[in-house]
Amino acid sequence: MKNNQLTAAKVDDPTLTNKEPLLVIKSLSAGYGKSLVITDVSLHVAPGEIVAMIGPNGAGKSTVLRSVFSITTLKGGEILVGNEVITKLSAVDLVRKHIIYVNQGKVVFQNLTVKENLEMAGSLIYKKKELAAKIEYVLSIFPALKEKLRSRTFALSGGQQQQVALARGLVQDAKLLLLDEPTLGLSPVLQQDLFEKLIMLSEKNVAILMVEQNVRSAIKHAHRTYLLENGKIVLTGGKEIIDNDLIKKVYLGG
C-alpha cells in the first residue's frame, strides 16, 4: 500500500450525533518510550455511539486505545471523559470511573470459572449483594454464559471467551468500552453475533470505541469510522464511506 494513496485523502469529521461527547481526544500524540506512534489525533465518542478505527497494521489504532487507558507515553494533547482530563489517572481509577479496556485476544482469567471471572471484575466497584444483582443483569444480555458459570474459561470456545471478556466490562458498569479487535479469531457467524451484542450495548447508552480489522463490518456497524495511516487520521465518516474510492481500492479490493 502506497502512503500517498492515504495521505491524499480528505479528512472529514462530521458530527453524527446531537449528544454531548463522553470521550474527547484532542490533538493526541503518544508512543512508547522515545518512540512516537500517533500524531495529532483528535476524535470523539458520545454515549450510545459505536466508533470504529480501521487502518493497516502499525497505523496506531491500538495506541489510541492504550493512551485512553494510560498504557502509553503521552507526548502531547488531551484526553477527556465527561469533561475531566484523565491522562494522569491509574488503570484502577479508570475502571472505577467505568472506563473499561478489553485488549486483543479475549483477555480473561483462563483458570477461573466464568462466575469467578465476573465476580473478580466487579469486586473493584460493588459490594457482594450489589455484585450478584449486577451479574444477573449481565447474564440477561449474555444468556449463553448462564449455562457456563461453573466452567473454567479455558474450556470455552473463542466466541464464548470473548463474551466473558465483554461481560466482565459490563459487570464493571462500563460507560466507555474500549475494544481492541474484538472479533479477532472468531468465525463470521460469531463475529456477527458479537456485533449484535455491541449494538445492544450502544442502545443501553454505552459509548464504544473499537479497533477492527474487518473493514466492511466495522463501517457497517459503527456510527462513525476513523481511518488511520502512519499514526494520523486521514479519513472520517459514517456508513457512506464504504463507497469512498480510497476505502474501496485499498481495503475492499475494489
Q: Is residue 198 part of a domain?
A: no
Q: What are phi and psi of 239, to 5 degrees?
A: -65, -20
Digit-coded pLDDT (tens) for 14-29: 444 568 999 999 999 9
Digit-coded pLDDT (tens) for 78-125: 999 999 999 999 988 999 899 999 987 656 788 899 999 999 999 888
Q: Is residue 132 part of a domain?
A: no
Q: Is residue 190 part of a domain?
A: no
CB 21 within 8 A of CB 45: yes
Cα(40)–Cα(76) distance, integer angstroms = 8
Q: Is residue 184 part of a domain?
A: no
CB 110 within 8 A of CB 153: yes
CA quadruple 191, 194, 200, 201: dihedral positive or negative? negative
Q: Is residue 91 part of a domain?
A: yes
CB 235 within 8 A of CB 246: yes
Query: When comparing pLDDT for 190 and 27, which is higher?
Result: 27
* Whether pLDDT at 151 is above 90: yes
Is 15 buried (19+), middle (13-18) or exposed (0-12) by CB count in 10 A? exposed
Domain that holds residue 74: 1-98+209-254
Q: Which pTM was predicted?
A: 0.87
C-alpha cell of residue 43: 476524535
Q: Which helix (H) or strand (E) holds 13?
A: none
Q: Is residue 216 part of a domain?
A: yes
Query: When comparing pLDDT for 16 and 180, which is higher?
Result: 180
pLDDT value at residue 89: 94
Task: With CA atoms as reference, report the closest residue to 93 among 102, 84, 105.
Answer: 84
pLDDT value at residue 13: 39
Total structural domains within the chain: 1
CB 69 within 8 A of CB 101: yes
Q: Is residue 73 part of a domain?
A: yes
Task: With CA atoms as reference, report the closest residue to 221 among 55, 54, 58.
Answer: 54
Q: Is residue 115 part of a domain?
A: no
Residue 251: CATH number of its domain = 3.40.50.300
